């Protein structure tokens, strides 16, 4: 994932939801 605006936790959660 390439999300620097959001925190690591948020990015991980979004990544898991997307994938």
Q: Please check the confidence at residue 3 and state whether its pLDDT lies above 60.
A: no
Contact 18, 11 (CB under 8 A): no
String of DSSP letters for 1-19: ---SSS-HHHHHHHHHHH-
For the whole model, what pTM was predicted?
0.05
Q: What percent of the chain has pLDDT over 90?
A: 0
Burial of 2 from C-beta contacts in 10 A (0-12 / 13-18 / 19+): exposed
User: What pLDDT score does 17 carry?
Assistant: 57
Q: What is the pLDDT of residue 6?
A: 57
Average pLDDT over residues 2-9: 56
């Amino acid at each position: 994932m390439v999300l620097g605006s959001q925190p690591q936790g948020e990015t991980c959660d979004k990544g898991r939801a997307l994938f």
